[in-house]
Amino acid sequence: MCGIVGFIGKEQASPVVLRALTRLEYRGYDSAGVASIYDNEILLKKDVGKIAEVQGKYALDGLPGNIAIGHVRWATHGVVNVPNAHPHTDCEGKLAIVHNGIIENYQELRHQLEGEHHFVSETDTEVIGHLIESYMKNGDPLEKAVTATLGQLEGSYAMAVISVDDPGKIVAVRRSSPLVIGVGDGEYFVASDALSFLEKTNQVIFMEDDEMAVITDDGVMLYNKKGKQVKRKAVKVEWEWDQASKNGHDYFMLKEIIEGPEAIQSAATQDKKHVMDVAMNILRAKQVIIAACGSSRYAALIGRYLFSQLASKFCDVVMASEFQYFASSIDKHTVVIAVSQSGETLDVMEGVKLAKAKGAKIVSIVNVPGSSLARMSHKALYLNCGPEICVAATKSFISQLVIFYLLAFAMMNKLDQGVKKLKGLSVGINGSFAENSQSLMTLADKLYDQGNFYYIARGINFAMASEGALKLKELSYIHAEGMPAGELKHGTIALIEEGTPVVAICPNDETYHETISNAIETKARGAFIIGISDRYNEIYDEWIKVPEVEDIFYPLSVVLPLQLMAYYLAIRRGKDPDKPRNLAKSVTVK
Ligand code: F6R
């Protein structure tokens, strides 16, 4: 995944790059580094660890020069160690490069270069640096050497390069990895996302695949694959830098959970004509497929129940990473709904590209404005929940649910009613947050050393069980499984033993009695039952009371306790919920 940034302007560049990098840390936090050009030299500092740790050791912001690039890493090729951290250089240290993506043919290229070039890392990125070095030997400008290099690369990349042999410019290119340019007053950024530099400028040029940007303190020149200049104006990005602060909370995750009820309001505030239009497209389509990953896929599964229950519209949900294997059934009568907070998840993007090539209509449900997915879709519905920084999805998941509710109500031609109901829900849900915080903290104290959790629910809430389990495992590293309550007896119940926590999501709806029966079956085998419900039952060892709502809205009623439970368990186990190990927020590799 990784985050990259470059800055050129009148002021010292490294402090600006460092600040931007801290906003990109959600993309990777295995290691960090910055390189600048000063006095005809590349100056470089990097190390393993989170940015604050690397900064504490090496004062990345002390590098002089008004041109610099930086990187936060999520390791793909090569272990987490200092040589593998970015920026990388060539043999003589005359250029520096930061890269996000994967070069698929790097081994082959490395073998070709090894005789003449000295490699110090195991990364695919270093190969690019050495290739550029070879082409720079001809005395070519940096952009020409980069273009020649690209001709040899297979795979995905967003990269930024600086060189002392052609100083005063950053050359940046992208293919299938995000890259945007920030245009300030006599200063320019290139970065994996606009959030990183919004403090300085909200004027953004979105780069397309196979484009190259040559950035100097005089301006930005953009070129297409054929080397022809492309004219594109910067557009204003509406997000505010302040939205991406912790606002007094210890972690972004808690702040973003608290923002959940407000997210319902913002997501429900949409252009009604646009929502109706998308809903009609879905309703009329011969086939509807929803593609998404992780939490976004669980939101999609709930959307699927809503479409079916409210609008009698059947659709399928396909894991985006498996989408390609269903491609043969896609045609121009298919609507593909791509759901992604970041709008950059490569599995989703690949699926969408494939479906688009087969003539399908693409609707996206996306949070990040101007993201690759939003730009690639025929129609986009935005979550409007502002930046989500914690790696785990919380408020964006809630907003995705809201969009599915809106679409389902629109399909019934009852959009206004749906909006009113959704907006009315946020007060009760807010109350449940305050009510449950203390008991969930106490529960975390009781259960933090358990090795396994099981989450069960039925009907529309089944995906909430899976979502609750995903939150728990990714944040606290406790193994957890979520499943339809009725499925438990077909195998998993064998794992229940004395004290095993079973989270039974059993709202007081048509599923209540059956879910309770399944919970009783686990209790008979020693399970500790945490009932998440608006209705008390004596089998609960712990009752997390949630607001009573209309049956179809129970996913929104139970979501905050599930998120909070994972949060408190992570905290109790001493884990950083904002930056879970091995994960990154924007998954731009396959
Ligand atoms: C879990 C989580 C991930 C994402 C998944 C898709 O808390 O955040 O499972 O939901 O990586 O990401 P997007 O929605 O950006 O495509």
Q: What is the 3-state secondary structure (H, E, C) of 302-320?
A: HHHHHHHHHHCCCCEEEEH
CA distance linking residue 196 with residue 199, whole number of Å: 8
Q: Domain boundary at 210, 243, 276, which?
A: 243
Candidates 361, 471, 579, 585; catalytic one:
585
User: What torsion, rounded to 10 degrees, do the Cα atoms 581, 584, 587, 590 define?
Assistant: -30
User: Does residue 256 share a domain with residue 233?
Assistant: no
What pLDDT, on a 0 to 100 scale, did the predictor assign at position 76?
82
CB contact at 8 A, 302 and 403? no
Closest-CA residue to 400 (of 359, 342, 320): 342
What pLDDT, on a 0 to 100 scale, did the predictor assign at position 583?
87
CA distance linking residue 2 with residue 586, whole number of Å: 9
List the residue whose alpha carbon is closest to atom 5 of ligand 1. Answer: 294
Q: Domain boundary at 187, 221, 243, which?
A: 243
Position 319 in a domain: yes
User: Does residue 358 share a domain with residue 235?
Assistant: no
Q: What is the CATH number of the domain that holds 131?
A: 3.60.20.10
CB count within 10 Å of CB 354 equals 17
Residues 6+ apart with CB under 8 A from 36: 13, 14, 42, 43, 44, 63, 64, 65, 67, 68, 69, 162
Q: Domain boundary at 196, 221, 243, which?
A: 243
List the residue whose alpha carbon is closest to atom 4 of ligand 1. Answer: 294
pTM score? 0.87
CA distance linking residue 196 with residue 372, whole number of Å: 17
Position 300 in a domain: yes
What pLDDT, on a 0 to 100 scale, did the predictor assign at position 370?
85
Candidates 2, 293, 385, 506; catalytic one:
2
User: Does residue 300 share a domain with residue 223?
Assistant: no
What pLDDT, on a 0 to 100 scale, did the predictor assign at position 179?
95
Position 577 in a domain: no
Tokens linked to 251: 């972690």
User: Does residue 221 share a domain with residue 264?
Assistant: no
List the residue whose alpha carbon is closest to atom 13 of ligand 1. Answer: 340
Closest-CA residue to 266 (of 90, 385, 409): 385
User: Does residue 236 share a domain with residue 273?
Assistant: no
User: What torsion, rounded to 10 degrees, do the Cα atoms 543, 549, 555, 560 define?
Assistant: -50
Distance 341 CA to ligand 1 centre (A): 7
User: Does residue 268 share a domain with residue 150?
Assistant: no
Domain residue limits at 399: 252-572
What pLDDT, on a 0 to 100 scale, did the predictor assign at position 89?
97
Radius of gyration of the chain (CA): 25
User: Does residue 282 share a domain with residue 192?
Assistant: no
List the residue whose alpha carbon is closest to atom 11 of ligand 1. Answer: 294
Q: Known catalytic residue: 390?
A: no
Position 16 in a domain: yes
Our count of domains for the chain comes to 2
Indicate the top mutation candidate among 195, 252, 319, 341 to test ligand 1's pocket, ranked by most ligand atoms within 8 A of CB: 341
User: Does residue 73 share a domain with residue 12?
Assistant: yes
Closest-CA residue to 433 (of 306, 246, 248, 567): 567
Measuring from each residue's beta carbon to the nearest atom of ligand 1, which residues come in under 6 Å? 293-296, 340-342, 345, 348, 392-393, 470, 474, 587
User: Does residue 218 share a domain with residue 304?
Assistant: no
Distance 537 CA to ligand 1 centre (A): 34
pLDDT in tens, the chain (590 residues): 799 999 999 999 999 999 999 999 888 889 999 999 999 999 999 999 999 999 999 999 999 999 999 999 988 888 999 999 999 999 999 999 999 999 999 999 999 999 999 999 999 999 999 999 999 998 899 999 999 999 999 999 999 999 999 999 999 999 989 999 999 999 999 999 998 999 999 999 999 999 999 999 999 999 999 999 999 999 999 887 677 778 789 999 999 999 999 999 999 999 999 999 999 999 999 999 999 999 999 999 999 999 999 999 999 999 999 999 998 999 999 999 999 999 999 999 999 999 999 999 999 999 998 899 999 999 999 999 998 999 999 999 999 999 999 999 999 999 999 999 999 998 888 877 778 999 999 999 999 999 999 999 999 999 999 999 999 999 999 999 999 999 999 999 999 999 999 999 999 999 999 999 999 999 999 999 999 999 999 999 999 999 999 999 999 999 999 999 999 999 999 999 999 998 877 787 77
Distance 389 CA to ligand 1 centre (A): 12
Tokens linked to 459: 């009907």
How far out from the chain centre does Cα 328 lie?
28
Position 367 in a domain: yes
Indicate the top mutation candidate among 377, 394, 587, 590 to test ligand 1's pocket, ranked by most ligand atoms within 8 A of CB: 587
Tokens linked to 43: 């100056």
What pLDDT, on a 0 to 100 scale, did the predictor assign at position 554?
97
Q: Known catalytic residue: 2?
A: yes
State the chain's maximal CA–CA distance in angstroms: 80
CA distance linking residue 4 with residue 21, whole number of Å: 7
User: What atom in ligand 1 is closest to the CA of residue 292?
Assistant: 16
Closest-CA residue to 76 (of 124, 111, 26, 130): 124
User: Does residue 161 share a domain with residue 183?
Assistant: yes
What pLDDT, on a 0 to 100 scale, did the predictor assign at position 426?
84
Closest-CA residue to 217 (of 160, 252, 168, 179): 168
- 101 half-sphere exposure, CB direction, 13 A CA radius: 28
Q: What is the CATH number of the domain that holds 378?
A: 3.40.50.10490
pLDDT in tens, 290-323: 999 999 999 999 999 999 999 999 999 999 999 9
What pLDDT, on a 0 to 100 scale, did the predictor assign at position 176?
87
CA distance linking residue 66 with residue 6, whole number of Å: 11
Residues 6+ apart with CB under 8 A from 491: none
Indicate the top mutation candidate among 26, 27, 193, 295 to test ligand 1's pocket, ranked by most ligand atoms within 8 A of CB: 295
User: Does residue 300 share a domain with residue 267?
Assistant: yes
CA distance linking residue 345 with residue 343, whole number of Å: 6
CA distance linking residue 23 with residue 507, whole number of Å: 39
User: Does residue 258 share a domain with residue 373?
Assistant: yes
pLDDT in tens, 319-367: 999 999 998 999 999 999 999 999 999 999 999 999 999 999 999 999 9
Position 475 in a domain: yes
What pLDDT, on a 0 to 100 scale, did the predictor assign at position 242?
72
DSSP 530: E
Position 582 in a domain: no
User: Quick check: helix, strand or coil at residue 274?
Assistant: helix
Report the interhelical angle of 415-447 vs 554-572 (nearest 10°): 30
Position 400 in a domain: yes
